[in-house]
Amino acid sequence: MESAEEFVRLRFSDDPEQYGRASSESASLEVWTEVVERYPEARFWVAHNKTVPLEILRVLAADPDPSVRSMVAVKRKLTAGILAQFATDPVESVRLSVARHKKTSRSVLEKLLSDDWREVRETAQERLRNSD
C-alpha cells in the first residue's frame, strides 16, 4: 500500500477483495505510522495486518482501545517485553492472550499464576505444567 488513505479505503470497502488486501499487503513504516496517527478507527485493522512491523505493534501495544491491544496480543512476532507489558493489562482478554502465547516466558507465566481472573491463572498453570 502506498498511503494511509489507500489502507483506510481498502479496509472500509464493501468489497471483500479490497478489505482482504488491507489485511495482507505490506506498507512502509511511514504509511503505518500515518494510519495510526491520523485514523484511530483503523488501528485495530493495522494490528490485524499480517505484515505490520514490530515498531508499529509496539505503539499499538499502548493503545487506549482494549480491542486494539487484544489484537496485538495475539500476534506471533511479539517480543518478550510486549508480552510482559500485556501480562499486567487491565483487560482480562489481553492477559489471557499472554497466557496462551507461545513466546510467553516462564517468568511471565509464573506471574500470571496470581492473576485476578481464574481462566488466566489456569491457562498459565497448564502452560507451565506442559513445559516441564
Query: Model confidence over 18-29: pLDDT tens digits?
Result: 989 999 999 999
Report pTM. Answer: 0.92
What pLDDT does residue 131 have? 84
Which residue from 60, 90, 91 is spatially nearest to 75, judged by alpha carbons?
Answer: 60
Count, residues in the chain: 132
DSSP at 31: H
Q: What does the alpha-carbon distance between residue 8 and residue 73 come to, in Å, rounded to a whole number?
A: 22
pLDDT 10s digits, 32-75: 999 999 999 999 999 999 999 999 999 999 999 999 999 999 99
CB atoms within 10 A of CB 130: 7
